């Protein structure tokens, strides 16, 4: 099974406007009779539209070389659609989004990876929605340690603590996590689960807009690093992040169900976490020697094994308290 399928489109015809590019995808889906989002009170396309529009106000969005191969595919059962977009800019190595729409779920996986010359956090929005429930991660994932060291936290998160607190009120902590995940999250992470409601989606959309706008300000202000060692540190941190997510993304099972094992693996390694096979040679075990396979999996009774952080581990001043 190849990518693109019958409703792939030419990159060249999309010119420089990200918006028409996006609309093209939506129109393609509509032409194919996908009105799936109508049974949900949320569609994540407007989130991506917003992000692309905002980005192009700040800088020029260039189509990523990945776009030609990864654009739109149907799920194996023909009842769902996966839409993918990818871009780069002068400071962004890869901005990519995956939207999944089926009869039973709406998923957004939107991540922006800065180039290694910038130590700006990775923008991360992961929303998994069914008719009843939602699993949400929205964050500026730190590139460097913010739990044991202060400098990176001060540089990027100190001024954002009030923003995090504003949304923590609306979105209570989502419960236990693997201890690795917590190290990739910032003090302003929105990690939450909620029962589906249109009012909640409005707040989520507002949070997404606010987080993306502050992230754009950070990347705008970022000065290109010239020190080889610092660039290497950033690159290795990016590669470590990609290695974690390509291996442990909780969405893997869903992707495999929708597209089959081979395509799911290709999507994970070449599109979603592109760079995992190119940006470094360390392996998962090199980066996570203490990871025990049972962490984060479900036991036979459906209980979580090896997870912690039942409550938000940061206090209101952004200090890590742990638990």
Nearer to ligand BLA, 25 or 102 (CB): 102
- Of 121, 296, 313, 318, the residue at the interface with ligand BLA (CB under 6 A) is 296
306 binds ligand BLA (CB under 6 A): no
Contact window for ligand BLA (CB under 6 A) among 51-59, 175-183, 218-226, 279-287: 175-183
Rg from Cα positions in the chain: 19
CA atoms within 13 A on the CB side of 239: 17
Shortest spacing between CB 298 and ligand BLA, in angstroms? 6
Give the separation between CA 93 and CA 235, rounded to whole angstroms: 11
- Residue 110 gets the label, from left (phi > 0), alpha (psi -120 to 50) or beta, of beta
Nearer to ligand BLA, 59 or 287 (CB): 287
Shortest spacing between CB 317 and ligand BLA, in angstroms? 23
Closest to 287 measured CA to CA, from 214, 237, 226: 237
Angle between helices 161-170 and 198-221 (to 10 degrees): 170
255 binds ligand BLA (CB under 6 A): yes
128 binds ligand BLA (CB under 6 A): yes
Q: Among all chains, which residue has been given the structure tokens 């994932």?
A: 141
Contact map string, positions 82 to 101, toward ligand BLA, x by CB under 6 A: ------------------x-
Contact window for ligand BLA (CB under 6 A) among 43-51, 147-155, 156-164, 174-182: 174-182
189 binds ligand BLA (CB under 6 A): no
DSSP 268: I
Give the total residue count for the chain: 323
Nearer to ligand BLA, 224 or 298 (CB): 298
Give the separation between CA 222 and CA 218, rounded to whole angstroms: 6
- Of 254, 265, 266, 312, the residue at the interface with ligand BLA (CB under 6 A) is 254
CB atoms < 10 A from the CB of 3, how many?
Answer: 18
């Amino acid at each position: 099974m190849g990518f693109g399928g019958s409703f792939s489109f030419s990159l060249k015809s999309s010119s420089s406007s990200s918006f028409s590019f996006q609309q093209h995808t939506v129109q393609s889906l509509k032409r194919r009779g996908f009105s799936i989002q109508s049974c949900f009170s949320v569609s994540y396309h407007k989130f991506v539209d917003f992000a692309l529009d905002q980005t192009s106000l700040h800088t020029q969005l260039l189509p990523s070389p990945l776009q030609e191969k990864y654009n739109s595919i149907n799920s194996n059962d023909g009842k769902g659609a996966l839409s993918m977009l990818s871009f780069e800019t002068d400071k962004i190595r890869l901005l990519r989004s995956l939207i999944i729409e089926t009869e039973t779920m709406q998923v957004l996986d939107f991540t922006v990876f800065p180039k290694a010359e910038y130590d700006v956090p990775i923008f991360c929005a992961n929303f998994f929605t069914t008719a009843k429930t939602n699993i949400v991660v929205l964050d500026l994932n730190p590139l460097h340690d913010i739990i044991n060291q202060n400098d990176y936290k001060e540089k990027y998160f100190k001024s954002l603590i009030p923003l995090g607190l504003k949304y923590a009120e609306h979105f209570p902590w989502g419960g236990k996590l693997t201890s690795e995940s917590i190290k990739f999250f910032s003090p302003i992470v929105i990690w939450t689960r909620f029962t589906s409601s249109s009012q909640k989606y409005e707040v989520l959309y507002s949070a997404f807009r606010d987080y993306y706008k502050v992230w754009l300000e950070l990347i705008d202000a970022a000065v290109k690093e010239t020190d080889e060692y610092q660039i290497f540190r950033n690159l290795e941190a990016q590669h470590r992040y990609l290695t974690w997510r390509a291996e442990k993304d909780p969405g893997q099972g869903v992707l495999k169900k929708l597209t089959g094992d081979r395509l799911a693996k290709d999507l994970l390694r070449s599109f979603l976490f592109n760079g995992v096979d190119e940006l470094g040679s360390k392996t998962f075990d090199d980066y996570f020697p203490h990871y025990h396979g049972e962490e984060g999996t479900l036991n036979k009774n459906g209980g979580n094994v090896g997870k912690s952080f039942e409550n938000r581990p940061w206090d209101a001043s952004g200090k890590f308290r742990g638990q």
